[in-house]
Structure 1
C-alpha cells in the first residue's frame, strides 16, 4: 500500500494531516490489545474536513495511510518528548490517550523494530513534506504549512477538563510571523460559536516546530480541533450538520494564511 498520498496544489499553502491515517498492518495489530486495533486515537475525518477546502484554495494536501500507533509522524525521530515533564504518547507509543497499554503483555516493539518503522513510515513522509514545502517556497518565495489535527474533547491524561474547540499552536510565536498569528486570532475573535486558545495546551508538535522558519519564508501553524464539534466521539461517526460550520471557519483561517 502507499505510505502517503500527496495532492500537489498551486497556492503557497501545504496542509499536512499526519494523524489522519488509521491503518495498522496485520503483523502489528495481532500483537495489540483488541481495543487498540481500531486505532481510536486517530484524528478522525480531518481529511474530509480539509480536502474540499484544499481543492477550492489550490492548496497541497499530504496524508499518511498508517495509524499514529505504527509511528507518530508528529514526534521527533529520536523519541524526545515534546512537552517535558508532562505525560504524553511517544514516537512508537505503548500507551493510548486513555493511558492504557496498546500491546499485549510482552509484545511491545523493541529498539530495532522502532528503527525499522521510522525508516519505513516516518522518513518517507518527512521527505515528502520537506520536498513539497521547498517546491512551494521556491515557486512563490514563501509558503504556509498548516498542520491539521483533532482530538477528543476530554483526555484526562493530557489535560484537565474540556479542551477548547479551536487550539492554534505557533510554538509560542516562533513558527510563524506576528502578523499571520494576528490575522488568525482575529478570525477566531470575530465569531461567537466556538471557543479557542492560541498556544495553550497544544503549542504545535514536531512538524510545526521543525519547519516553521518565518525568516526563511516558511510559516507553520498547527490547529488542534476538538472532535465533539464535528463528529460523534463515541462512535467516531461524522456529523455533517455539526461539521459544516466548523469547515467554514477553517476555510476562513486558511484564507487568512493566503492573505485573504
Structure 2
C-alpha cells in the first residue's frame, strides 16, 4: 500500500488534496466483521471526482488510499475528538457514520495502535502534501491547496439533508485571501450550485494548520453536499470505481486558478517548510 497516497504532479498554482476519498481497509482489520462492509465504501464521491478533474487539467492532486474510518487524514495527529460530545469520532474511529461498531467488544484500538497508524499512514501522507506544497510555492507567487472532504458524512450528528452544494471553509477567513473564495463561490453560483462559506465546517484541520496567505499559501476546504452530492451518487452509485471528470468542477478549478494568479507577489519569511511541518504536528 502506498502510504503517501496517489500523487499526480502538475505545475498549476492550485493543488487538490483529498483526505477522505480512500476506500482501502488493511487486511489486519478485516478480522472484525464490520470492516468488510466498510471496505470499498466511498465517503467523499465529490472529492474523488474533483481529484480526477484536477488530473485531467494537469493540476497536482494527492488522494488518500485508506478509508477515513481507518485513520482520518484531516484530523490532528494528537487524536483530539472532532466533537466534545462524541469522543469516538477522533483520529481512528471506532464506529461508522451510521453508528455501527467497527471492532469486537474490548478490541478497540489502543493508544499504541493509533500511534502506529500515525507513523505508518498519517505522517507519510502529510509529508507528501508538504513536499508538493513547497514545490509549487517555489514556482508561483501564491499557491492554493483545495481540500475536499466528507466531514459531515462521517458524523451521525450533522444534518446533511439541507446542506449546500458547496461548503467552503477558510478557518474564519484566516487561511485564504477573500478574492479566491469569491471567485469560487461566484463560479458555483453561475453553475446553479448553492454555497455557503464558513458554515458548520468552519475550522477543520487543513485550513487551520496549512493556511499562510501572508506567505502565499492559501487553503480552502470544500465539502460537496446537498443536491450536487445526491446527483453524483445517483450517477455513479456508492462506488470506488474511477470517477469521471466533471465539467462544473473544472470551471470552479479554473476560477480558482485565475484568482490565485491575479494576486500580487508576496515574500516568504523564515523556513516555511519547517513552520508548516511544526504546525501540523502540534
TM-score higher than 0.5: yes
Q: How far, CA to CA, are the matches of 1:232 and 1:89 in structure 2? A: 28
* Residue 259 to residue 82, structure 1, CA distance change in 2 (3 Å): farther
**Number of residues of Structure 1 aligned to a counterpart in Structure 2:** 255
Q: How far, CA to CA, are the matches of 1:204 and 1:246 in structure 2? A: 28
Q: Does 1:220 align with 2:222?
A: no
- The 3-state SS of whatever aligns with 2:149 is strand
Question: What TM-score do you get using the length of structure 2 for normalisation?
Answer: 0.79
Q: Which runs of 5+ in 1 are unaligned?
A: none
* Residue 49 to residue 141, structure 1, CA distance change in 2 (3 Å): closer
Is the contact between residue 170 and residue 221 of structure 1 (CA under 8 Å) also seen in structure 2? yes
| Larger displacement relative to structure 2 (158-167 or 219-228) | 158-167
Q: How far, CA to CA, are the matches of 2:244 and 2:115 in structure 1? A: 41
Match of 1:54 in 2: 55
- In the TM superposition, what is the alpha-carbon distance from 1:130 to its structure 2 partner? 0.7
Q: CA RMSD for the aligned pairs?
A: 3.0
Question: What TM-score do you get using the length of structure 1 for normalisation?
Answer: 0.86
Q: Does 1:144 align with 2:150?
A: no
| Larger displacement relative to structure 2 (158-167 or 140-149) | 158-167
- In the TM superposition, what is the alpha-carbon distance from 1:114 to its structure 2 partner? 0.4
Larger relative CO (CA 8 A, sep 6+): 1 or 2?
Answer: 2
* Residue 256 to residue 32, structure 1, CA distance change in 2 (3 Å): same
Q: How far, CA to CA, are the matches of 2:49 and 2:203 in structure 1? A: 22
Match of 2:163 in 1: 163
* Residue 239 to residue 195, structure 1, CA distance change in 2 (3 Å): farther
Is the contact between residue 46 and residue 148 of structure 1 (CA under 8 Å) also seen in structure 2? yes
Is the contact between residue 22 and residue 42 of structure 2 (CA under 8 Å) also seen in structure 1? no
Q: How far, CA to CA, are the matches of 1:253 and 1:172 in structure 2? A: 21
Q: Which runs of 5+ in 2 are unaligned?
A: 260-282
- The 3-state SS of whatever aligns with 1:232 is helix
Q: How far, CA to CA, are the matches of 1:153 and 1:125 in structure 2? A: 22
